[in-house]
Structures are given as structure tokens and as C-alpha cells.
Chain A
Amino acid sequence: MKFEEAAKFGTYISKSFAKDVFRLLNNYRDISASEAASRLGMHIQTVQDFLEAMADLGILDKKEAIERKRPYYRFTLKTQKIVFELDLIEELRNTKGNSIEDSKIREKKNAGVRFSLARNGQYFSNVAIWVGKGRARSEKKISLTTAQGKFLYNLPFPDGEHLSLEEIRVKSGVELDDMPEIKDLVEELIQYKVIEAKSL
């Protein structure tokens, strides 16, 4: 890596949100700036700049996608190691390991969450959660990938039978390769008390 590139890399890697963005990139097969921004609760331009810079440095692969005639970019992590000898795989591995895989889940009672259907009505496109208390209460909106949307569509109801991630994955027809991003979402939603988990 050249010095200028390293300087650029250093500038961005020192950002407080850099690790979170890389974690998303590691978990998701590909992700857009808006999905990442909504997931992290950041401004889209900040994330866009970061992703563009990483793509320029050759760390990310940038692919154009079109939705409703509006082109945008989806970014994929291209390399798992960089010259700084940061082992991204080791660093960004999910801290909770496989614990969620050993649980059965369902929607929590009175989760106070709003699910929005995708255009075709077959999965969810985003989830809106109320975060905070009193006047500080605000809405956090998480944009979902297709796989996540399908998975949540088949999540058992609050009075339904708990199901394992694998059972829901099969029911919703999600591919095994998409499981990291689903686990990431499930962990997040457990934290926000949208999903309840029961040990197997």
C-alpha cells in the first residue's frame, strides 16, 4: 500500500464507526450505504464517504444496482487481510459466537415494533423500533436485506411456538450463506427486545 493510500486508510480506519461498518461488511454478503447507515443509525453521507474510500483503496468491491430506476452501489468486502496486518476476520468476528444458534426464538410480546412490507408483499423491507424513553424516545429504522426480510416474515408470533434459526431459515427459504447477516439482525433485535430467545 502506498503512503497516500495508507494515510487515507488511516484517516478512515480511525473513525469511531469504522469497525461497525466493517462488521456489517463482514456479515453481509453485500450492503448499500443506506442499509448500513440505517443499521448503524448514522448519516448516509458519512457512510457513503467511508465505503467509497474503502472501495477506492481496493478493500471493497463496488457494484451498481438499480431499484425503481435509481442506481445505487452495493459494497462487498473484497479482502480479509490488509497490509497493516489487521486480521479483519479475527477482529470483526461476532463476539457472541454461536450462542444464538443454540436458541429458539419468536417475536416478543408488545414489542412495539413496526414492520414494513416490501413492494411485492412477500417479505419485510424495514423494521422501525422505538428506542429510548420519554422525550428522548426516537425511532430507529433498520433496512433489511431480502434474506433478512424473508426470515423476519416467518418469525413466530408472540404466542406462536418458538423455532430455531435453522427451522425459520428452512421455512422462509433463505440460503445457508445468508445466515451471518440473519444472526447479526437477530442479535440486534434481541437487544432491542423485539425478539425473545429461549435456550434449546
Chain B
Amino acid sequence: MRKLKPDRGIQGLIPAIVSLLIFFLILIIGGATPAFHVLGVIMIFYALAFGFWSFYKTNNYYYLITVFYMLTCGAFLLLLNFPEDIGSLKSKSNPELKIALLFFYFFAFWMAYVGYRKKLKYRGREVMELAAWDVEVGTETYTERPRPAGIIEHSKYDIIDFGNHLKKNLVCMSFQEENRILLVPIKMGNEFEFLYKPDYNYLSKTWISIDFDGQVSVHISRKDYLDYTDDLAFDHLCESLGQLMITFADFYMRGDKVRIMDRLNSVKMGLFS
């Protein structure tokens, strides 16, 4: 049974809703062609603001596919003169439009596949769900402070590599400090704060820290704790989250990276939650 409350946030859909609203507004005011052109400009802007910036922040190469998808989509819409070009798509005229459409189809299919494989999904909910898997209910047990959760015996650079791997796969975002890394699981819908808030305070979020001596500590934010349906036994929950990361670190160091994703996929969360 799921321990987390169902995710009904629509944050991820806001850019799409905004762009459609703008599209329909211009469609009413200025007609179809300007509306498609403005939508094209918006798509190109989204490609840079969302796709490229996300790639820069996470090192997840799949974001480049979204960049190319949105760029080709934007280019197609900018080249489109509605309704004249609709008929010409079948003829031999306007080759640029056809090339843009071809690339758009190519990247659209590729992106659909990437979406199906959940390569662009932030895995925070899976992490928190797995941590709470066998944790019992325990009322009034929450505390703000972090909890030591165990020790791992790996070198500093292995730990940094592990953090980078989790970041790349959107399992946790890693933040390197002087003598430790902090792994912050980000849930879908919460990624915008991480991506765009200039003074993003990761210490106030849920984190798992691994210092370069191997000491593992866990902090769970009140917001994430309240995201569980019941008040869970907090000590056990923190220990469980720490153990989960220790297990993931062991998988990574053994070369069984795929097991990390297998574990996360076993939760069977929806693509947008």
C-alpha cells in the first residue's frame, strides 16, 4: 500500500497551459499564422529555458532530446503559414517546412520513448516511498534535526561519483560541500524550485549526507514528512532512508547501477507523479 499521499499537483503542466492560453489569445486577436508563430517562439524559449537549463543543472543527456524536440517544433511553427502551407505539405514546395516536420517527428518519437522509460522523471517520490515501505505509524515523533544513519566505506571520489550518478538519473540532486555531499531527492513538480530558484536552500529540504569519512546522516523536512498519509515512526523512517542510500551506494560501487533503477521502478509511480 502507498504511504505517500496521491500527487495531484499541476505545476508541471503550467508552461503548457500558459503557452496554449497565449496561442488562443493571439488566434482570436490576430489570426492563425501569428498565433502559430508566437507559439513557435515560445517553444524555442522553452527549449532553452526548460530543456537546456535542466540539462545544465542535472547533466541528464535526455534533456537534450527535449531541447531538439522543442526547437524543431518551434522552427516548424515559425515556418508555417496557415492555412496555405497545410496543403503544400503534400506537394513538393516549401522543403524547409518538410525538413522541420521530419525532424520534429523524429524527436517526438524519441521523446515519447524516453518518457516511457521514465528517463526524465524526478525520482523523489519513489525514494520517499521506498524509504517508508515497512515503517510503522508513530505519532508525534517528528524532529527537525538530522539523524546519523550508518557508515559506508568508500573513497571520497567514489562518493562524489555516486552523487553525480544519482543526479544524472534524477534520483537525487547532489550538492558538494567541503567535507561531504548532500543528496536531495526531488519530487516531480518540485523540480522548478531546484532549477530556477537562485538561492535554493537545499539544507531545508530532505537530504541524505555522506561525508568523506563515510558517515551517513539523514534529514527529512516537515513538508516531506507531512506528505505521508500517516504520521510514521520518524526514527525508523530516517534510518530506512539512510539504509536505502547505503544500499544504492553499494549497488553503485559493485557496478550494479541498474539495480538502483530497478528498485525505484518497483514502486510503479506514474510518469508525472
Contact = CB atoms under 8 A, between A and B. Distances in A.
Mutual binders A and B:
yes
Interface of A: 107, 109-111, 113-115, 117, 119-122, 124, 152-154, 156-160, 171
Nearest to A160: B235
Interface in B127-162: 138, 140-148
Interface residues of B, number: 25
B141 A121 contact: no
A145 B50 CA distance: 45
Given A117-B146, A121-B209, A159 B141 contact: yes
Given A157-B238, A159-B141, A160-B235, A121 B177 contact: yes
A111 B143 contact: yes
A189 to B, nearest CB: 13
Q: Is the interface of A mostly helix, strand, loop or mixed?
A: loop
A127 B176 CA distance: 25
A157 B141 contact: yes
Interface of B: 138, 140-148, 177-180, 182, 203, 209, 211, 215, 217, 233-236, 238
Given A109-B141, A120-B178, A121-B177, A159 B236 contact: yes
A122 B233 CA distance: 24
A117 B140 contact: no
Nearest to A157: B235
A124 B140 contact: no
Contacts of B148: 153-154, 171
Contacts of A120: 177-180, 211
Given A158-B141, A158-B143, A159-B141, A117 B203 contact: yes
B144 A159 contact: no
Nearest to A171: B148
B143 A153 contact: no
Contacts of B138: 159
Contact of A157 (B182, B211, B234): B234
